Amino acid sequence: SPADYGVLPRPCRALVLLNPQSGAGRALEDFQAVVQPMLADADITPTVFVTERPHHAQEKVQDEDLSQWDVLVVMSGDGLLHEVLNGLMERPDWEQALQTPLCILPGGSGNALAASINYYAGNDHVAKKKLLTNCTFILCKGLHAPMDLVSLSTASGKRFFSFLGFGWGFIADVDIDSEKYRRLGNARFTLGTLQCLVRLRIYQGRLSYLPAAALTGDGEPPADTLLVPLGQPVPPHWVVVPEEEFVCVYAIYQSHLGTNLLMAPAARLHDGCIHLFYVRAGISRVALLKIFLAMGRGTHLELNCPHLHCVPVRAFRLEPRGSAGVMTVDGEALACEPVQGQIHGRMCRVVTG
Ligand code: ADP
Ligand code: MG
């Protein structure tokens, strides 16, 4: 609703957290050439903080005086925004801190949130410089709206906040294995997908979820009430997937998995939903390839592939058998272990069209 929206003040003070190593390594150049002139016209004053190492941005926002800034801009891939978000969550005043609007400008090789926001705004599907121009224009307009987050907790006691998705199996492997091709930009995922298809593996584990429809109340669950400790069985109204062999599990809460992958066309910034996808073992390589090709236009569900499932959920749990392989949170690697997560509606704010 219109009441959800805010607008950035003018003049507007923007802290820009920029990772010079993200994507093809041109984020700083692109910022100066494309972004800076547009911001000047819109009366937005950027202060650029160039990250020097992993966790630098996270540490920066952990004890930053946020009253100096009207917006926190991340110019990188999804990984740096994940850091910033978790840095804000580590603050004692996290609730207040999350009211500072966040903005993503695509500078990385994985720019799923930027692609999603471009899609929610009703813009044509674009990539690279055009996507950067569109996202900068959205920042210049300065509207911001609530965004859902997902809290993920692991058996070893870690807790993360996530804005994009959690993956295990095929897609997580592609994401991490293709890191070495980061210089190719978004093409790294195409190459990675083909490589992982050749040595297609099966992942064993138990997947359970709380269907979105099963929730009673106003659709705004208070903190953590949907989950029981990982050591205990899931509550009786949860669904336990009977099959325990998968090619891939991916819980996504934005529309795009990557610039060219429209995985959850129905997803929106604050729909209160985790879109839980899983592909059961037994699927052929050709069928899996067809799913990925169709995902370019978001038509993969129309294939009616019997191995592909998509359920809207509020919470899920994944208990992998064994610890081989990798999991991802917002595209960043995580050791493989039991994990569960639940949606937290409208927890932060993001600049959107
Ligand atoms: P990409 O989409 O290219 O992977 P990300 O934004 O996801 O870009 O960044 C990838 C990783 O780079 C993040 O985990 C972040 O912590 C790390 N990082 C941030 N700054 C630097 C830096 N100066 N040098 C190396 N790595 C960095
Ligand atoms: Mg990344």
Residue nearest atom 16 in ligand 1 by C-alpha distance: 54
pLDDT of residue 219: 42
Q: Are residues 226 and 313 in the same domain?
A: yes
Question: Does residue 293 belong to any structural domain of this protein?
Answer: yes
CA–CA dist 28, 84 (Å, integer): 18
Q: Summarize the confidence of residues 330-342 as an average pLDDT.
A: 96
Overall average pLDDT of the 129-146 stretch: 98
Task: Say whether both 69 and 179 belong to one domain.
Answer: no
Q: In terms of domains, do 231 and 134 share one?
A: no
Please indicate, yes or no, whether residues 100 and 161 belong to a single structural domain of this protein. no
Give the pLDDT confidence of 122-132 residue by residue, as tens digits.
999 999 999 99
Same domain, 337 and 214: yes
- State the catalytic residues: 78
The CATH number covering residue 144 comes to: 3.40.50.10330
As a whole-number percent, the residues of the chain with pLDDT over 90 amount to 86
339 pLDDT more than 50: yes
Domain extent for 11: 2-148
Instruction: Give 177 Cα–ligand 2 centroid separation in angstroms.
Output: 12
Classify the complex by whether its ipTM is higher than 0.90, answering yes or no. yes
SS3 of the chain: CHHHCEECCCCEEEEEEECCCCCCCCHHHHHHHHHHHHHHHCCEEEEEEECCCCCHHHHHHHCCCHHHCCEEEEEECHHHHHHHHHHHHCCCCHHHHCCCCEEEEECCCCCHHHHHHHHHCCCCCCCHHHHHHHHHHHHHHCEEEEEEEEEEEECCCCEEEECCEEEEEHHHHHHHHHHHHHHHCCHHHHHHHHHHHHCCCCEEEEEEEEEHHHCCCCCCCCCCCCCCCCCCCCCCCCEECCCCEEEEEEEECCCEEECCEECCCCCCCCCCCEEEEEEECCCCHHHHHHHHHHHCCCCHHHHCCCCEEEEEEEEEEEEECCCCCEEEECCEEEECCCEEEEEEEEEEEEECC
Query: Residue range 146-162: average pLDDT?
Result: 96
The pLDDT of residue 222: 43
| Probe target for ligand 1 pocket from 22, 61, 175, 188, with the most ligand atoms within 8 Å of CB | 22
Report CA(260)–ligand 1 centroid distance (Å): 20
Inside any domain, residue 263: yes
Closest ligand 1 atom to 23 CA: 3
Token code pair at residue 31: 């910022």
Same domain, residue pair 122 and 244: no
Task: Give, for ligand 1, the residue of 16, 17, 21 to mutate: max count of ligand atoms closer than 8 Å to Cβ.
Answer: 21
- Tell whether 168 and 127 lie within a shared domain: no
* Average pLDDT score over the chain: 94
Contact between 172 and 284 under an 8 Å Cβ cutoff? The reply is: no
* The last residue of a domain, from among 126, 148, 170: 148
- Summarised one tens digit per residue, pLDDT across range 28-63 is 999 999 999 999 999 999 999 999 999 999 999 999
| Closest-approaching ligand to the CA atom of 20 | 1
Residues 197 and 326 in one domain: yes
Residue 353 within a domain? no
Q: pLDDT per residue over 170-216, tens digit each?
A: 999 999 989 888 888 888 888 899 899 988 999 999 999 999 986 55
Query: What is residue 223's predicted lDDT score, i.e. its pLDDT?
Result: 62
As a dihedral over the C-alpha atoms of residue 76, residue 80, residue 81, residue 83, rounded to 10 degrees, the angle is -170
What is the sign, positive or negative, of the torsion defined by CA atoms of 191, 195, 201, 205?
negative
Query: Of the bound ligands, which one is closest to the alpha carbon of residue 51?
Result: 1
Q: Is 23 in the pocket of ligand 1 (CB under 6 A)?
A: yes
Ramachandran bin of 21, using left for φ above 0, alpha for ψ from -120 to 50, beta for the remaining angles: alpha
Asked if 156 and 174 sit in the same domain, the reply is yes
Asked if residue 202 is part of any domain, the answer here is: yes
Residue-wise pLDDT for 297-324, tens only, equals: 999 999 999 999 999 999 999 999 988 8
Residues 180 and 205 in one domain: yes
How many domains does the chain fold into? Answer: 2
The domain that contains 328 carries what CATH number? 2.60.200.40
Q: What is the pLDDT of residue 213?
A: 80
